[in-house]
């Protein structure tokens, strides 16, 4: 394919430390966290009062009052109020999809600069009116006469006073994300030991990265937190092996609270721009966005795993760019669950799956595991859904910049059977 | 710290002999900010929940000392009936919630006023010896007399010229109770229509410092790191009310006012 468009530059990123649900950010809203994150980004790159091309952001768990959350955040932030903004929502793919949207506009010359952001809170999640009660109230609102109003009010039942709390379940299957992932883990015979080892490595790598100051220019403290609240530097595969499984049933149950991501609060933002824009402001260019691909699978009726869409997205992305899976120096595979990462890798190595499901002559093959999530990932940081994409992009861009050359792959699975993947190259 | 006992003591002590000059008292306290309290304050006034203290927040940290000082027998004016007429705040730099604050309060400038006598309660906040915040709250005692004559009247911030409002606020009936809970200012005129009526108001009235904080919060993201906030309070804001905020950029800062059909509730400059 032709590649005449310029490549968007990743200038840098900022996030707040991620907090466990009902932890340090229990009182903060999505608006609060995203404001702190954008203000931190503005402080780091001298953007106060600047008109940025656009801010694309989003949240997965969103209150009805948070219409155009990102624009509202910009209006209360240090950025110029003449910075346009809009919301994106694609479950856990939100944060990476915002980057794709902004990077594409920069590549096309429609923007010179942009910010990709995401935020989520499980502590301040929306609780909705019982749906039956809501219908009664809407009918009441539309009633013109007193008898109509009384008739509408007569529809109220005591049971309707129980509010609806959002559940971490797929609307069409009724299964939670963890239960879906457990099915995939079973299908690919992912062992408990392998999952616990991956989880321990995530904590170990994240702790080491904090210790060497890797996150000093990626993270701004917030509400007293300076590191991710979920990080357990001293955990080990042996300690994790003692936890009881929480997803799946019986002998085959391998997924625990230790090798699954906890509910988390947090926000992240990535600053993108053209090379010229960055140069004019003497800002660094850490990496360039090469390409991205989004896939979706029929997890409802076709027996596909809920979180396996990246398995399909990556081969399409590689083919379009004339690359193989071995051509990367870093692999950032979002750890929704340790089993998700391991099942994804197993699927890419499986000849039958390659042939029958991916339509390829040969499997993508194994990856060098020493290049996987080298500074930790979601199992250690936690996973505020829409904020994970920004965390990973900024992290990978910095890794590539440190290395001075090379290429990195980002892979993020999302609820609804979707997955967003992208390639970055060192600048 | 509940200020209710102090208010009661002041109410009981309102009648009887008083000192005729200001005491030299200087009250001090060390404060580690309670982040839960800070979040409640931010939410009540419309600030984002974050690490930098809203410029109006140290006022509530000092307010208990204000009351303690004014409730004393050696204070020349009776606390019940004092009206907050003006307030200036200077935040010399952003103050982080993680910093230990030393708050000191004293009274000065006990002088005449066209309608009685006024006094300033001055608060200073230091962090490790560095002065980071100053507050000056001017209270009026109607009909009272001061040892010194009225000075040249202070130039109050002007109203923003007409034109459409920047924002319309529907101020809820429980605003006084909510702000009382986070500020400790449990003056009965703010709490309930009945207690307000006892002091001559037709309904409960909003705290001036709530209105000031709410107006400042509307400029979140548009203020410099060091802030000077000069407020003159006007007509009481009866609860509930619908009021209008007007803002206008003026040489590096802002002029603003809050008004409704009943008049102008505050005028301010910030920069």
Indicate whether A75 pLDDT > 90: yes
* Chain B residues touching A76 at Cβ < 8 A: 48, 220-221
- Domain count within chain A: 2
Q: Is B98 in contact with A76 (Cβ distance < 8 A)?
A: no
Q: Is A223 in contact with B221 (Cβ distance < 8 A)?
A: no
Candidates A35, A81, A224; nearest CB to B48: A35
Indicate whether B115 pLDDT > 80: yes
What single DSSP character describes residue B158?
P
Catalytic option among A92, A180, A312, A334: A92
Same domain, A270 and A328: yes
Share of chain A above pLDDT 70, in %: 99
What is this model's ipTM? 0.90
Q: Which residue has the tokens 């007569």?
A: A154
Q: Looking at residues B217-223, what average pLDDT do you find?
A: 96
Judged on CB neighbours under 10 Å (0-12, 13-18, 19+), A289 is buried
Pair of tokens at residue A393: 């992009």
Q: Is B221 in contact with A29 (Cβ distance < 8 A)?
A: no
Q: Is A223 in contact with B98 (Cβ distance < 8 A)?
A: no
- Residue A43, pLDDT score: 97
Question: Which residues of B sit within 8 Å Cβ distance of A?
Answer: 35-36, 39-40, 43, 48-51, 97-98, 220-222
Nearest to A88 by CA among A52, A121, A54, A58: A58
Pair of tokens at residue B190: 């703010």
**What are the pLDDT digits (tens) for A289-321?**
999 999 999 999 998 999 999 999 999 999 999
Q: How far apart are CA A181 and CA A339, in angstroms?
A: 7
Q: Looking at residues A337-356, what average pLDDT do you find?
A: 97
Candidates B49, B220, B222; nearest CB to A28: B49
Domain boundary among A113, A140, A161: A161
- Give B157→chain A minimum CA distance, Å: 25
Coil, strand or helix: which one is B117? strand
* Chain B residues touching A22 at Cβ < 8 A: none
**pLDDT bucket at A109, cuts 50 / 70 / 90:** very high
> Taking the domains of chain B in order of start, what are their residue ranges?
4-146+154-270
Inter-chain contacts counted by CB atoms under 8 A, chains A and B: 42
- Residue A4, pLDDT score: 66
Domain boundary among A161, A181, A203: A161
Same domain, A142 and A247: no
**pLDDT bucket at B168, cuts 50 / 70 / 90:** very high
Same domain, A64 and A123: yes
Q: Which residue has the tokens 């005129």?
A: B189
Judged on CB neighbours under 10 Å (0-12, 13-18, 19+), A164 is middle
Q: Looking at residues A81-105, what average pLDDT do you find?
A: 98
Q: Is A39 in contact with B49 (Cβ distance < 8 A)?
A: no
- State the sign of the Cα–Cα–Cα–Cα dihedral B42, B47, B49, B54: negative
**What are the pLDDT digits (tens) for A251-260?**
889 999 999 9
Same domain, A155 and A169: no
Same domain, A340 and A420: yes
Is A92 labeled as catalytic in the residue annotation? yes
CATH number belonging to domain B4-146+154-270: 3.10.129.10
Same domain, A150 and A277: no
- Give A82→chain B minimum CA distance, Å: 12
- Residue B40, pLDDT score: 97
Q: How far apart are CA A90 and CA A97, in angstroms?
A: 7
Is A22 labeled as catalytic in the residue annotation? no
Same domain, A170 and A153: no
Candidates A29, A78, A223; nearest CB to B51: A223
**pLDDT bucket at B20, cuts 50 / 70 / 90:** confident
- Cα angle vertex A87, ends A78, B246, to 5°? 45
Domain boundary among A142, A161, A180: A161
- Give B138→chain A minimum CA distance, Å: 31
- Residue B14, pLDDT score: 67
Q: How far apart are CA A64 and CA A106, in angstroms?
A: 31
Candidates A27, A39, A75; nearest CB to B39: A27
Share of chain A above pLDDT 90, in %: 85
Are the beta carbons of B245 and B258 closer than 8 angstroms? Answer: yes
Pair of tokens at residue A408: 């990195």
* Chain B residues touching A35 at Cβ < 8 A: 48, 50, 220-221
Mutation to test the A interface, candidates B34, B49, B93, most A Cβ within 10 Å = B49
**What are the pLDDT digits (tens) for A208-254?**
999 999 999 999 999 999 999 999 999 999 999 999 999 988 888 99
Q: How far apart are CA A372 and CA A333, in angstroms?
A: 7
Nearest to A348 by CA among A339, A334, A358: A358
Full domain range(s) for residue A139 = 131-161
Same domain, A229 and A242: yes
Q: How far apart are CA A99 and CA A292, in angstroms?
A: 10
- What are the residues facing B26 on neighbouring strands? B106
Q: Looking at residues B116-138, what average pLDDT do you find?
A: 97
**What are the pLDDT digits (tens) for A348-400?**
999 999 999 999 999 999 999 999 999 999 999 999 999 999 999 999 999 99
Nearest to A90 by CA among A53, A54, A62: A62
Q: Is A223 in contact with B48 (Cβ distance < 8 A)?
A: no
Nearest to A184 by CA among A346, A365, A376, A373: A346
Same domain, A150 and A192: no
- Give A77→chain B minimum CA distance, Å: 5
Among A115-129, A174-188, A369-383, B61-75, top mean pLDDT goes to: A369-383
- DSSP H or E stretch at residue B245: strand B241-250
DSSP A149-160: HHHHHTT--GGG
CA distances from A30 to A121, A320, A382, B190 (A): 6, 37, 16, 31
Indicate whether A1 pLDDT > 60: no
């Amino acid at each position: 394919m032709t590649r005449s468009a310029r490549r968007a530059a990743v200038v840098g990123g900022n996030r707040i430390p991620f907090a466990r649900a009902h932890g340090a950010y229990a009182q903060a809203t999505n608006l609060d966290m995203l404001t702190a994150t954008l203000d931190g980004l503005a402080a780091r790159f001298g953007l106060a009062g600047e008109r940025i091309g656009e801010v694309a952001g989003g949240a997965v768990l969103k209150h009805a009052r948070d219409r155009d959350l990102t624009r509202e955040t910009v209006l209360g932030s240090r950025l110029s109020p003449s910075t346009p903004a809009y919301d994106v929502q694609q479950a856990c793919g939100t944060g990476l999809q915002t980057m794709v949207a902004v990077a594409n506009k920069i590549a096309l010359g429609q923007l010179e600069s942009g910010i990709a952001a995401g935020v989520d809170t499980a502590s301040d999640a929306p609780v909705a009116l019982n749906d039956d009660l809501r219908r009664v109230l809407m009918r009441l609102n539309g009633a013109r006469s007193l008898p109509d109003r009384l008739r509408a009010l007569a529809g109220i039942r005591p049971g309707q006073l129980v509010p609806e709390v959002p559940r971490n379940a797929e609307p069409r299957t009724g299964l939670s994300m963890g239960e879906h992932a457990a099915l995939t883990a079973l299908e690919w015979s992912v062992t408990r030991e392998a999952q616990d080892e991956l989880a321990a490595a995530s904590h170990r790598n994240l702790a080491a990265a904090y210790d060497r100051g890797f996150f000093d220019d990626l993270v701004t403290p917030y509400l007293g937190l300076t590191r991710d609240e979920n990080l357990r530097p001293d955990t080990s595969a042996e300690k994790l092996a003692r936890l009881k499984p929480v997803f799946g049933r019986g002998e085959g149950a391998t997924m625990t609270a230790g090798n699954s991501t906890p509910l988390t609060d947090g926000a992240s933002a990535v600053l993108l721009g053209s090379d010229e824009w960055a140069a004019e402001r003497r800002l660094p260019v850490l990496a360039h966005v090469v390409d991205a691909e989004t896939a979706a699978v029929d997890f409802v009726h076709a027996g596909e795993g809920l979180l396996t869409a990246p398995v399909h997205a990556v081969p399409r992305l590689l083919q379009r760019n004339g690359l193989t899976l071995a051509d990367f120096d870093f692999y950032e595979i979002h750890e929704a669950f340790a089993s998700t990462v391991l099942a994804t890798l197993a699927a890419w190595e499986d000849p039958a799956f390659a042939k029958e499901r991916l339509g390829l002559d040969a499997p993508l093959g194994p990856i060098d595991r020493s290049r996987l999530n080298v500074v930790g990932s979601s199992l250690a940081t936690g996973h505020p859904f829409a904020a994970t994409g920004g965390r990973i992009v900024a992290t990978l861009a910095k890794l590539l910049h440190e290395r001075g050359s090379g290429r990195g792959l980002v892979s993020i699975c999302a609820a609804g059977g979707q997955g967003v993947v992208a390639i970055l190259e060192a600048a | 710290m509940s200020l209710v006992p102090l208010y009661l003591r002041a109410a009981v002590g309102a009648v009887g002999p008083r000192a005729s000059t200001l005491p030299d008292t200087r009250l001090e306290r060390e404060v580690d900010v309670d982040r839960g309290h800070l979040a409640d304050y931010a939410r009540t006034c419309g600030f984002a929940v974050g690490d930098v203290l809203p410029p109006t927040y140290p006022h509530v940290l000092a307010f208990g000392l204000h009351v303690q000082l004014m409730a004393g027998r050696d204070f020349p004016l009776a606390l019940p009936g004092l009206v907050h007429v003006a307030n200036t705040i200077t935040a010399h730099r952003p103050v982080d919630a993680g910093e230990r604050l030393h708050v000191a309060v004293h009274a000065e400038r006990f002088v005449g006023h066209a309608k009685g006598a006024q006094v300033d309660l001055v608060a200073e906040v230091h962090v490790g010896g560095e002065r980071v915040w100053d507050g000056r709250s001017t209270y009026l005692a109607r009909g009272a007399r001061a040892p010194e004559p009225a000075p040249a009247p202070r130039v109050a911030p002007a109203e923003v010229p007409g034109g459409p409002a920047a924002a319309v606020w529907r101020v809820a009936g429980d605003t006084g109770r909510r702000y009382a809970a986070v500020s400790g200012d449990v003056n009965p005129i703010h709490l309930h229509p009945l207690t307000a009526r006892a002091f001559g108001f037709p309904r409960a009235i909003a705290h001036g410092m709530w209105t000031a904080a709410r107006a400042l919060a509307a400029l979140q993201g548009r203020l410099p790191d060091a802030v000077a906030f000069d407020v003159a309070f006007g007509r009481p804001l009866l609860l509930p009310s619908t009021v209008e905020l007007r803002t206008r950029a003026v040489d590096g800062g802002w002029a603003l006012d809050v008004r409704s059909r009943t008049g102008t509730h505050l005028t301010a400059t910030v920069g």
